Structure 1
């Protein structure tokens, strides 16, 4: 029986790109059928109204909604063409197809041209339903997930040193930063990878210059972080002990009254004050959010959904952690991918998670790529030892 499976695998392997493309297409059709076409959910009305204002009178909303500007702008393009919701979803699927290709090609570059890791990473990306379902939702997640994947693909190209590769990476990172308020984390991950490369370079002068630049830019970075947090009410969620936004059944309860920051304190200073005066409580709160975010055991999920997370994601996390340490993989890419996941995790621990997977799905491509690389390198070493 094993011999038959191996023979079938060898015959199908030359056609695996077409098989992956077919599986991707079937996934899109399956979710279109499941949701009876384009699906509006929770925040969809807000984005569509914003997009209509852009398409009809060029009006861009200020404040919190401006942080999501790319998606309403994307929607407004299809609305202006008169294609409506179906045009938006078709556009999302087109970008998602490019993102899937970027996952395959980027992983193959990191694997030294070998296609096994690329095929496995792409299979996980295509087959994981909590990623592909968003392509039919009128929400930011589809575009954001695709832009994270496209940023990864663009990042793997800069190893060539060609100017156009750097230009494409800059475009991808800028678009990702405009897609969601936390989109800046992908650019920050790229920056951390760059700093790590400078730190390890024989010539230390660029590394010292980069540190000096960061010191000089510290006031600007402080102001930018305050701006990012200005429209979030973190102290309210801290007081309620929420692990999942507006879900009181899973919450951390304080043993004694909390020491709250004084009025008039800036957003970042409020968090620092709260951390300094309530360290044990905030520590328990952050650990609870970490568990909720990565465990995939949220109360709204079915038993089958939770089991899939435990059986697939938990091993993938471990494999990805091993892959992030695998020296044969280009180090800047390892730092970049690990930083994407860790930065998103840190953001969730400091803010609050949502009831579904919309905050985890955008960073799962980083997990799948590192896990696939680790699997294929381990199998290769085992074959060499034999």
Structure 2
């Protein structure tokens, strides 16, 4: 069979496919793609490159991306240099998906190849490499963090150092970038909880209790420039899109003036539980369904036929005992934490918020596919 003859060269073929996909998107967008939020990132980057000025306020929550852009602007390479840098990091991320999945699959290359193929071929992931937006860097950092996380099984200090560095960079890429570090922390807590010696687990809980005030301050800082009450009052499931909205059945009880950002959300939840519940369920559907109102029928069908089964397979993979448990907790937590954030905030008209966590879905799904194929092949009677 042709597939068997090509299999020894599958990594070369995947690399070639990755290059082809980038060229196709370059042609589609005629080079670097400037869109809605690109202006503010580029303006911030120019301020860093020319004056070393880091703008305070909302944009500081995305500081890594303007800093990344400023390097290429300082070198005089402009937009093509920025995109070239994004492509280079994406290439490393693609390798991390392959290697990380292979580690979790006990060295088997089938699952690694399938996860990498999904990462390369899914159009709403690779296209962001041409966008002058944070998504390309954020997606790549999520993938690189995954690869680094699977490598700490070896226990070498350099692997831990690389993971911590990548988690810090991911947290600086977007306001929600902390979810990757939080997912790693949850995986670590789960590992401590399952130890025979309970003392490390208790020490970790004590540390969390002591850090709680600092974490509360950090949460308020992140939420300070997001006007969630406005989106709640408008009933938005998608930002600034009123055709899909939840309408109030009764006047809403809003937090009093002076209430902190995080406390406002808690106040609203306590006093408007049914309305907020409807909002959150609506946002959950919009976020995971892939049925965005602006998408073509073909785009929606693609999501239903391929992405929905991937969710089911990923859920099964997350419970598969044969996969290293900390990685399962990490991957599942990345997706669930991102989903929770969208349910409490608001989704976008496209999949900018879903694309960064699709790699973890594809990894878990392909690990489950690999397991099912292995079970089927072992169950097949000898001829």
Q: Per the shorter chain, which TM-score range? A: over 0.9
Map of 2:15 onto structure 1: 21
Q: 1:27 offset after TM fit, Å?
A: 0.4
1:1-386 map, 5 Å = 7-386=1-380
What's the secondary structure of 2:241's corresponding residue? Answer: coil
Q: 1:216 offset after TM fit, Å?
A: 1.0
Q: 1:29 offset after TM fit, Å?
A: 0.2
Distance 2:125 2:139 in 1: 8
What's the secondary structure of 1:249's corresponding residue? Answer: strand
TM value normalised by structure 2: 0.99
Distance 1:46 1:234 in 2: 21
**Residue deviations 1:144-174 (CA, integer Å, cap 9, x gap):** 0000000000000001000000000001101
Map of 1:4 onto structure 2: none
Q: 1:221 offset after TM fit, Å?
A: 0.9
**Residue deviations 1:217-240 (CA, integer Å, cap 9, x gap):** 111111111111111100010000
Which sections of structure 1, spanning at least 5 residues, go unmatched? 1-6
What's the secondary structure of 2:35's corresponding residue? Answer: coil
Distance 2:379 2:123 in 1: 37
**Residue deviations 1:234-280 (CA, integer Å, cap 9, x gap):** 00100000000000110000101011111111111111111111100
Distance 2:62 2:265 in 1: 24
What's the secondary structure of 1:250's corresponding residue? Answer: strand
Distance 1:180 1:155 in 2: 20
**Residue deviations 1:286-309 (CA, integer Å, cap 9, x gap):** 000000000000101011110111
Q: 1:385 offset after TM fit, Å?
A: 1.6
Distance 1:259 1:32 in 2: 49
What's the secondary structure of 1:261's corresponding residue? Answer: coil
| RMSD over aligned Cα atoms | 0.5
Q: 1:383 offset after TM fit, Å?
A: 1.1
**Residue deviations 1:20-55 (CA, integer Å, cap 9, x gap):** 001100000000000001110000011111101100
Distance 1:56 1:164 in 2: 35
Distance 2:243 2:36 in 1: 21
Q: 1:384 offset after TM fit, Å?
A: 1.2
Which sections of structure 2, spanning at least 5 residues, go unmatched? none
Q: 1:190 offset after TM fit, Å?
A: 0.2
Map of 1:3 onto structure 2: none
Distance 2:323 2:301 in 1: 31
Q: How many residues align?
A: 380
Distance 2:119 2:174 in 1: 21
